[in-house]
Amino acid sequence: MNLNQPTTYIKGVSVARAELLYKELNVKTCNDLLHLFPHRYIDKTQFYTINQLQQNTAEVQIVGKITNIKTVQQKRGSRLVATFTDATGRMELVWFKGTKWIKDSLKPNTPYVIYGKLNWFNGTANMAHPEMELVTEYKKKLQSAMQPVYPSTEKLTNKGVSNKVMRSMMQNLLQQAFESIEETFSETFRNENQLLHKKEALLNIHFPKGQELLAKAQYRLKFEELFFIQLQLLVKKLINKSKIKGFVFESVGEKFTDFYQNHLPFDLTNAQKRVLKEIRKDVGTGAQMNRLLQGDVGSGKTIVGLLVMLLAIDNGYQATIMAPTEILATQHYNGIKELLEKTDINVELLTGSTKTKKRREIHEGLQNGSIHILIGTHAILEDKVQFQKLGLAIIDEQHRFGVAQRSKLWQKSAESGVPPHVLVMTATPIPRTLAMSLYGDLDVSVIDELPPGRKEVKTVHRYDSHRLGVFRFLKDEIEKGRQVYVVYPLIQESEAMDYKDLMDGYESIVREFPSPKYQISIVHGQMKPADKDYEMERFVKGETQIMVATTVIEVGVNVPNASVMVIESSERFGLSQLHQLRGRVGRGAEQSFCILLTSFKLSSDAKTRIKTMVETSDGFKIAEVDLKLRGPGNIMGTQQSGILNLKIADVVKDSPILFTARQTAMKLLSEDAGFTKPENKLILKRLTSLQRSSGIWSNIS
């Protein structure tokens, strides 16, 4: 049987049923069905004694005898109650329907095997409508120990495709197609990595003969899934390094040296120096650099980026920084312009609101090489924007740019055929497991220490009822000459409601902080860009003490004098958003504070988020918690989540398997990069078919 045939080839699957499977579970071929794995199992391998039963034990199997049967009258009809005992204790069995027939068929003082879901009443276990079988009958049967429970939907159940039907379809499929299941690993490879044969793994994932075989089957299939993802990423990295040529930045020239010795406003941390060294090594090899630079909010990624740009300029190349928003691009521009004001380096800014005349000048300056550094938004990707010699592209906040947009940067240099070096910067630390799955083809550098003099932001949680105390604290801080942010959530679906919240909040703050003593700025998404910039500018200059805003300021404004961040309804924010917002304060020498205001009603996830924020400011720890709460697909936004469309593995729970799979793939490539050894032929065959079917290959940046 060919596994790529539609599911109608399986005995018992009609055209209508096949259509239903496709609509509801995206199962089109026999292979799709074979890889629709059970999400839990009903375990009939273990027998419990009554004294072992736990309040949380869901479905259990017990051997015992019925010692007493009685009928209990209730408002409507009656119920049948039997006392069931074993050597360790007693429990009750209850029936509400068919009581007369059941009462006649029960055999007291005869050993039964009972199975069902437990309920508890006054500390005693009971089981309603148990499955029952005499021990003598039970022993005669061939027991299928663990029963699979498949993913389902309401529509499937209503149309008669119950779990029992799914089981029988799967049984038919395995009987028809068992011989067609192809192995993807050689015997040598399987033995080295202690993996079951593929046929055995698929048989035992659907119909396990016991807990141990189920565990081995799951391990084999998870390992395979993660191994091929890692192998593809690593092969891509090898190709990048060996085939894709990159410009060589040979010399550290006068622009870099002059800036480093005379204009650098502070000493670099050891982490910054280490990262700089890693990048310098990359850009000197003659292969194109693809590096991910991770650093927490305020760890000084921008200065590292600037030094690398100076290195490019010293070697006769131009450089560019691309940021996701106009605010962020403008901030980079102002910061870098200020740092370079005493040098002869020409920096320009290109965004959606750059005027036509200025645009023409920029296009010209890029082509004749008089502009050294271009900072901008998506506007840089327009076809008209061509550099004379683009040697380095820095992308800030990577997960906001799609893959197609990044590849456009490759075609920006007039020196055809050689792409610029790429440095991706992110202030949202990506947990190691996720970085390995999403960016396994990038080299990773981490800045893991804050610049000296930076004090950790103190974070506290307060309920709405403490608002007056919070206002008093804000007045004290303003009295000391500090500035304050008050941020309200903005969730797309309910913009009108959020706008109302923001305006209500703004009014209560105006009442509490009256002018002329206090000046207040307000910024939200419905304002015109010019009005937004005007209000931001007033706050930056210190003309207003309080900035009331929506999350527009999550990335953006850098105001060292702002020392307090109040986040309203903070239970409505995700962890990474809360962390980003907190990063807006703590940029000066003074002690800064982040106050998380919430209502009393908090879900358990919200409690975890708030607790995490109060306990740690380590972005990597926060990202790990976020990953556990939200799962991998949601963290990276839509264009990245396609990669992690995994059938059985979970990058969070299965991180030990992920590490093993990556190590194994690295070892294989270091020993046999061309897949010429006979034991690697099957792996090459599978890899080639994965590369052909767009699959993961086209998703990876």
CA distance linking residue 383 with residue 363, whole number of Å: 11
| Chain CA centroid to CA 260, Å | 37
Query: How many Cα atoms sit within 13 Å of 430 on the Cβ side?
Result: 27
Give exposure, 465-488, as e/b (b: 16+ Cβ within 10 Å): eeeeebeebbeebbeeebbbbbbb
Q: Is the pLDDT of residue 229 over 80?
A: yes
**pLDDT greater at residue 458 or residue 238:** 458
The helix (H) or strand (E) run that includes residue 127 is strand 124-128
Q: With contact defined as beta carbons under 8 Å apart, do 282 and 291 qualify?
A: yes
> Using omega within 30 degrees of 0 as the cis cutoff, is the peptide bond preceding 529 cis?
no
Query: Under CATH, which architecture does the 46-144 domain have?
Result: Beta Barrel (2.40)
CB 315: neighbour CB atoms within 10 A? 20
pLDDT of res. 655: 82
Of the segments 249-258, 398-407, 691-700, which one has the largest average pLDDT value? 249-258
pLDDT of res. 330: 87
Amino acid at 76: R
**CA angle, 250 as apex, 245 and 252 as ends, to 5°?**
140
pLDDT more than 70, % of the chain: 90
Q: Is the pLDDT of residue 240 over 80?
A: no
Q: Report residue 554's pLDDT band, with 50, 70 and 90 as the boundaries.
A: low
How buried is 76 (Cβ within 10 angstroms: 0-12 exposed, 13-18 middle, 19+ buried)?
exposed
pLDDT of res. 316: 94
Q: Is the pLDDT of residue 227 over 60?
A: yes
Where do the structural domains in the chain lie, given as residue ranges? 46-144, 254-282+300-426, 458-616
The encoded tokens of residue 547 equal: 């900035």
- Taking residues 109-118, report their average pLDDT: 92
What backbone torsions phi and psi does residue 599 show, to the nearest 5 degrees?
Answer: -80, 175
pLDDT of res. 643: 47
CB 111: neighbour CB atoms within 10 A? 14
Can you state the percent helix, strand and coil of the chain, rounding each to 5? 45, 20, 35
Q: Is the pLDDT of residue 400 over 80?
A: no
Q: What is the DSSP string of 336-358?
A: HHHHTTTS---EEEE-TT--HHH
pLDDT digits (tens, 9 = 90+) for 658-670: 999 999 999 999 9
Q: The domain 458-616 belongs to what CATH superfamily? A: P-loop containing nucleotide triphosphate hydrolases (3.40.50.300)
The helix (H) or strand (E) run that includes residue 86 is strand 78-86
pLDDT digits (tens, 9 = 90+) for 668-685: 999 999 999 999 999 999
- Taking residues 25-29, report their average pLDDT: 93
The encoded tokens of residue 381 equal: 């990707």
pLDDT of res. 145: 65
pLDDT of res. 60: 85
Query: Which regions of 464-523 does DSSP assign to beta strands (E)?
Result: 483-487, 520-523
- Taking residues 37-62, report their average pLDDT: 82
pLDDT of res. 307: 96
pLDDT digits (tens, 9 = 90+) for 488-516: 886 444 556 666 678 888 899 999 999 89
CA distance linking residue 597 with residue 111, whole number of Å: 61
Find the largest Cα–Cα distance for the chain: 100
Tell me the CATH class for 254-282+300-426. Answer: alpha beta
Sheet containing 373-376: give its strands across.
347-350, 373-376, 318-322, 390-396, 421-426, 290-295, 443-447
pLDDT of res. 415: 58
DSSP classification of residue 48: B
Q: Is the pLDDT of residue 636 over 50?
A: no
pLDDT digits (tens, 9 = 90+) for 529-551: 788 888 888 998 999 999 998 87
Query: Which regions of 273-408 does DSSP assign to beta strands (E)?
Result: 290-295, 318-322, 347-350, 373-376, 390-396
